[in-house]
A and B are shown apart, each in its own frame.
Chain A
Amino acid sequence: MTTSKLHTTTSVSEGKRLQASASYNNVDGILHLVNKKLIFTAKGSKNPMISVPLSDLKQFFVSKPDKPDPKLKIKLFSDVEHMFVLTTSNAKESLGKFKIELQTLISKQRSGHASNASSRVTSAAPSPKPRNGNAPSPSSGASSPALRKTAPTAEEIALRVELLSRNAELAKLHQELVVGRFITEEDFWETRKHLLRDEAAKTEQKKGRSSTVPDLKPVTEEGGDVKIKITPQIIHDIFEHYPSVKKAYTENVPHNLKEEEFWKRYFQSKFFHRNRSNADRMKNQQKDDIFDKCFAEDEDELVHGPKKIRLDRLNRLIDLSMTAEDHLENGNEPDITMQPGTGKSLTLLRKFNRHAERVLKSSLSEKPMKPKDSPSDYTQKKGYKDEIIIEDLDADEVQPRILLNINDSRRYFESQTGTSLNDIGQNEQFPTSALTNMKALFADWHPDLRKPIRRPVSSQVTQMLNKSIKDRNNLNARQRSLEMKIPPALEQQVMNIHSASKEFLRHFWSTVNSTAPERIEKNKRMVEQIRKTLERIDEVAETAGEDGKVVRLMFKHMEAALRNALVVRQAASINGKRKRAQ
């Protein structure tokens, strides 16, 4: 008898839970309890001798603790029984663990797949049975209507309306399904949360200020009159852009000048025309005391730079004068080409900079400039510290991870697929003589390349290949010719039914395995709708006359999907009844 240890692992590896040495029909081996299966492997063999999915397990019995050999008996739905005798040193203890583990697993399974599990009948053959899962498990859960019974808020409704008005296709579907009372409003949106989220994000984004420089182009009318239209908005822009003009306006309007007069003079002034390249006009300007003053002020600021920059409030991190050490060769002296008087470029640059600053400021208008406290405080406090930290240079934090430890990846994938493709080869008894035969065959083998392919085979192959080429060409040709031409109205109808069916199916599958009462109710409604849709397809196909065939063809797969849903439903309800009867 081997001494083998029993250990429980909580890791996810292969879903392994328990193992203990045991004997079955006097064969020694190891009994595993994997997540989904109870497996007995004979000693020295890698293939499981018995492998029972827990879903096939009907009952299990363990011997009483006071009996000499601890036994585990399992009974399957197929009424096959297996008896294991635990041979571990601490057999009684491990038997207890098996008992507890089996109980929890089975109860979990029963409650999880209540409808599925009861229908299983399997032989005790070691090959694992393909899972009974023809119904994909519903992916919902977070969004069950049971949890969300509250009525939608006004914002949500507004969002929905907005979305529908923008998306014509969705609107049509909504019209079809919800207004036609096939599914409820809530159900309709439940599966479209992502659309609503996108829409919400879109509406939340506000439009910033336009960054164009206010520039008025005079329109020359018949007779040579020049006309410029101004609106309050334009005036606002001008004031904002040229504070000197605003100053002049408040000083002179209305007691010195009428508003109309003011603007007239403005548009004639040197100030207004300075950006335009019509230099000759500049020469002809009359003197204008108001705007010449503005012009002088503005120009002065542009040429000499803004007068008051508070150097003590500067953020040291972006203070260019403080980084002289970084530029030892040429320092960071002011660029001499920026000296005033070197042409128009400087004033133009300053103007653009000022404009850009204004646009940027308008977008962060509400936020106060950063440190209110004195600059020395700022340096001392964590303000700079925070800013000089570069994330990329930080050491990586070690995330607590659990290593996935797979001893035998073969079994892992087997449990993933449910059906083991590999069993095709694995469980067949390959004669070991195959190996020796092969060895003998190739021990002294020299290829003889002169063997021809004989007549019947060669012509068969040619025929087959020709046929497959022909088939392929035909298929291509047919696909080209079969561009389905049906009347637009009919096409519309087909499209509508199609999208509605998709919707019904989606709701159907999301509720098919659910146990919550309102979901069962919903599922029933969907089944009803699916039935009706099938009738509608028939109806449309019949009334279409000539095109009926095409319509049928178009619905071929959709019909199959719908029927499949009905079949699944029927199977599930039969199961349910049987269970209740039991």
Chain B
Amino acid sequence: MKDVKGASEDDANLLVLIIDTNPFMWTKSTESPSGLSLDNALCQLLVFINAHMALKHDNKLAVIASHVGISYDSKFLYPATNAVQVNNNSDSEQSKDTNMYQTFRAVNNQVTAGVRALMQDAPTLETYPDKGSSMIASALSMALCYVNRVLRTDNVGHIKPRILIVSVSSDSPYQYIGIMNCIFSAQKASIPIDVCKVYGEDTVFLQQAAHITEGVYLKLASPQGFLQYLMEVSMSTGARTC
């Protein structure tokens, strides 16, 4: 176990979660033996997210979807843009969860709505060549920009950022430069990039990302236990084990 430099117990955490939402790879993952499906994975992720938010009252969160295809690219699921929020407020089905902690509900609804929106309009993907990859480079850039913004507006100056990538797709060589630039930026800003590989071969780029930024690269041997991995490995920055 090693303690991250200067991390104090009271510091708030900023978790930027990048979810690889490549529908093709998730379909393959679902079909593989003991593989995880996207909806299942999202449920587990939401629990993890809620746990993160519950851990400290000023913990912050951003969720970015790294999708396939140029027109869809990457997209913030939380904090969400207005359009999705409107959808959300008109959502009547959530009334059954009236007892739920408000923050949890907001996050859960927005992430769910975001993924739904992503999956609804995807017809042009059929002709997109790189079906096996997702837009990790752009997602990482967005994550870094967001981290930068939060750090700038943070007056206390104690927020600890980190990035967690949930990956299913393989590397795409033409994103190499973009990804490496992001990695080096993250290294310079000492933002650890953790990688959780749920399905598929190891991705070399993300292994590098984790290695260079002193993050954790974790390939799940049994994806069904996704949440447990997250809880044990990625819950806190204070104590890193693997």
Docked-complex contact B129 and A426, CB < 8 angstroms: yes
Docked-complex contact B39 and A441, CB < 8 angstroms: yes
Question: B78 at interface (Cβ–Cβ under 8 A)?
Answer: no
Q: How far is the CA of A433 from the CA of B176 in the complex (A)?
A: 30
Question: B192 at interface (Cβ–Cβ under 8 A)?
Answer: no
Question: A453 at interface (Cβ–Cβ under 8 A)?
Answer: yes
Residues of B within 8 A of A449 (CB): 43, 46-47, 50, 108
Q: How far is the CA of A409 from the CA of B176 in the complex (A)?
A: 11
* Contacts A46-B129, A438-B119, A449-B46; A460 near B225 (Cβ below 8 A): yes
Docked-complex contact B233 and A465, CB < 8 angstroms: yes
Complex: chain B residue closest to A427, CB-CB: B132
Complex: chain A residue closest to B94, CB-CB: A446
CB proximity to B under 8 Å, residues A42-56: 46-47
Interface centre among A46, A428, A439, A446 (most CB of B within 10 A): A446
Docked-complex contact A425 and B130, CB < 8 angstroms: yes
Docked-complex contact A46 and B25, CB < 8 angstroms: no
Q: How far is the CB of B90 from chain A (nearest CB, A)?
A: 15
Partner of A438, one of B38, B93, B174: B38
Residues of A within 8 A of B50 (CB): 449
Question: A503 at interface (Cβ–Cβ under 8 A)?
Answer: no
Stretch in B6-14, B164-172, B207-215 with 4+ CB within 8 Å of A: B164-172
Question: B133 at interface (Cβ–Cβ under 8 A)?
Answer: yes
* Contacts A443-B120, A447-B108, A465-B233; A435 near B43 (Cβ below 8 A): no
Q: How far is the CA of A191 from the CA of B232 in the complex (A)?
A: 52
* Contacts A439-B120, A446-B93; A422 near B171 (Cβ below 8 A): yes
Stretch in A162-170, A410-418, A523-531 with 4+ CB within 8 Å of B: A410-418
Question: A469 at interface (Cβ–Cβ under 8 A)?
Answer: yes
* Contacts A435-B23, A446-B112; A425 near B174 (Cβ below 8 A): no
Residues of A within 8 A of B130 (CB): 410, 422, 425-426
Docked-complex contact B233 and A448, CB < 8 angstroms: no
Interface centre among A428, A465, A472 (most CB of B within 10 A): A465
Question: B142 at interface (Cβ–Cβ under 8 A)?
Answer: no
CB proximity to A under 8 Å, residues B144-168: none
Docked-complex contact B227 and A421, CB < 8 angstroms: no
Q: How far is the CB of B143 from chain A (nearest CB, A)?
A: 22
Q: How far is the CA of A428 from the CA of B120 in the complex (A)?
A: 23
Q: How far is the CA of A431 from the CA of B23 in the complex (A)?
A: 11
Docked-complex contact B131 and A469, CB < 8 angstroms: no
Question: B115 at interface (Cβ–Cβ under 8 A)?
Answer: yes
Complex: chain B residue closest to A414, CB-CB: B173
Q: How far is the CA of A430 from the CA of B27 in the complex (A)?
A: 9
Residues of B within 8 A of A458 (CB): 225, 228
Docked-complex contact A430 and B131, CB < 8 angstroms: yes
Q: How far is the CB of A44 from chain B (nearest CB, A)?
A: 9
Q: How far is the CA of A453 from the CA of B227 in the complex (A)?
A: 8
Q: How far is the CB of B103 from chain A (nearest CB, A)?
A: 14
Q: How far is the CB of A134 from chain B (nearest CB, A)?
A: 19
Q: How far is the CA of A462 from the CA of B241 in the complex (A)?
A: 13
Partner of A439, one of B46, B119, B229: B119
Q: How far is the CA of A380 from the CA of B175 in the complex (A)?
A: 60
Partner of B221, one of A431, A443, A464: A464
Q: How far is the CA of A173 from the CA of B93 in the complex (A)?
A: 79
Docked-complex contact B119 and A420, CB < 8 angstroms: no
Docked-complex contact B224 and A453, CB < 8 angstroms: yes
Q: How far is the CA of A308 from the CA of B222 in the complex (A)?
A: 94
Residues of A within 8 A of B233 (CB): 465
Residues of B within 8 A of A435 (CB): 23-24, 122-123, 125-126
Residues of B within 8 A of A434 (CB): 23-24, 27
Q: How far is the CA of A47 from the CA of B127 in the complex (A)?
A: 10
The 0/1 profile, CB within 8 Å of A marked 1, for residues 20-60 of chain B is: 00011111000000000011101100110010000000000
Question: A432 at interface (Cβ–Cβ under 8 A)?
Answer: yes
Complex: chain B residue closest to A473, CB-CB: B1
Docked-complex contact B24 and A425, CB < 8 angstroms: yes
Q: How far is the CB of A52 from chain B (nearest CB, A)?
A: 19
Docked-complex contact B228 and A425, CB < 8 angstroms: no
Question: A468 at interface (Cβ–Cβ under 8 A)?
Answer: yes
Docked-complex contact B176 and A413, CB < 8 angstroms: yes
* Contacts A443-B116, A468-B242; A425 near B173 (Cβ below 8 A): no
Q: How far is the CB of A482 from chain B (nearest CB, A)?
A: 21
Q: How far is the CA of A40 from the CA of B38 in the complex (A)?
A: 36
CB proximity to B under 8 Å, residues A230-289: none
Residues of B within 8 A of A469 (CB): 241-242
Question: B3 at interface (Cβ–Cβ under 8 A)?
Answer: no
Q: How far is the CB of A385 from chain B (nearest CB, A)?
A: 45
* Contacts A46-B129, A412-B174, A439-B122; A424 near B201 (Cβ below 8 A): yes
Docked-complex contact B173 and A461, CB < 8 angstroms: no
Complex: chain B residue closest to A45, CB-CB: B127
Docked-complex contact A417 and B112, CB < 8 angstroms: no
Docked-complex contact B228 and A46, CB < 8 angstroms: no
Docked-complex contact B131 and A426, CB < 8 angstroms: yes
CB proximity to A under 8 Å, residues B163-206: 169-174, 176, 201, 204
Q: How far is the CA of A447 from the CA of B42 in the complex (A)?
A: 8
Q: How far is the CB of B97 from chain A (nearest CB, A)?
A: 10
Docked-complex contact A438 and B23, CB < 8 angstroms: yes
The 0/1 profile, CB within 8 Å of A marked 1, for residues 92-128 of chain B is: 0100000000000000100010011001101101110
Q: How far is the CA of A465 from the CA of B133 in the complex (A)?
A: 28
Docked-complex contact A421 and B222, CB < 8 angstroms: no
Partner of A417, one of B40, B127, B173, B225: B173
Residues of B within 8 A of A441 (CB): 38-39, 119
Docked-complex contact A425 and B115, CB < 8 angstroms: no
Partner of A442, one of B24, B120, B225: B120
Q: How far is the CB of B85 from chain A (nearest CB, A)?
A: 17
Q: How far is the CB of B160 from chain A (nearest CB, A)?
A: 22
Q: How far is the CA of A412 from the CA of B25 in the complex (A)?
A: 24
Residues of A within 8 A of B122 (CB): 435, 438-439
Docked-complex contact A460 and B123, CB < 8 angstroms: no
Q: How far is the CA of A49 from the CA of B201 in the complex (A)?
A: 25
Complex: chain B residue closest to A420, CB-CB: B173
Partner of B169, one of A409, A425, A438: A425
Residues of A within 8 A of B43 (CB): 447-449, 451
Q: How far is the CA of A524 from the CA of B152 in the complex (A)?
A: 63
Docked-complex contact B132 and A457, CB < 8 angstroms: no
Docked-complex contact A442 and B116, CB < 8 angstroms: yes
Q: How far is the CB of A421 from chain B (nearest CB, A)?
A: 5
CB proximity to A under 8 Å, residues B214-240: 221-222, 224-225, 227-229, 232-233
* Contacts A438-B23, A449-B46; A461 near B119 (Cβ below 8 A): no
Q: How far is the CA of A41 from the CA of B169 in the complex (A)?
A: 25
Q: How far is the CB of B218 from chain A (nearest CB, A)?
A: 9
* Contacts A441-B119, A448-B43; A421 near B170 (Cβ below 8 A): yes
Docked-complex contact B174 and A409, CB < 8 angstroms: yes
Shortest 8 CB-CB contacts between residues of A and residues of B: A425-B132, A461-B225, A434-B27, A413-B173, A442-B119, A413-B174, A438-B23, A430-B24
Instruction: Spell out A's residues near B (CB within 8 Å).
Output: 46-47, 409-410, 412-414, 416-417, 420-422, 424-426, 428, 430-432, 434-435, 437-439, 441-443, 445-449, 451, 453-454, 457-458, 460-462, 464-465, 468-469, 472
Q: List 5 A-B contacts (CB under 8 A).
A: A424-B132, A438-B119, A445-B112, A461-B232, A465-B241
Known: A457-B222, A465-B229, A465-B241; 4 extra A-B contacts, CB below 8 A, are A424-B132, A426-B129, A438-B119, A443-B116
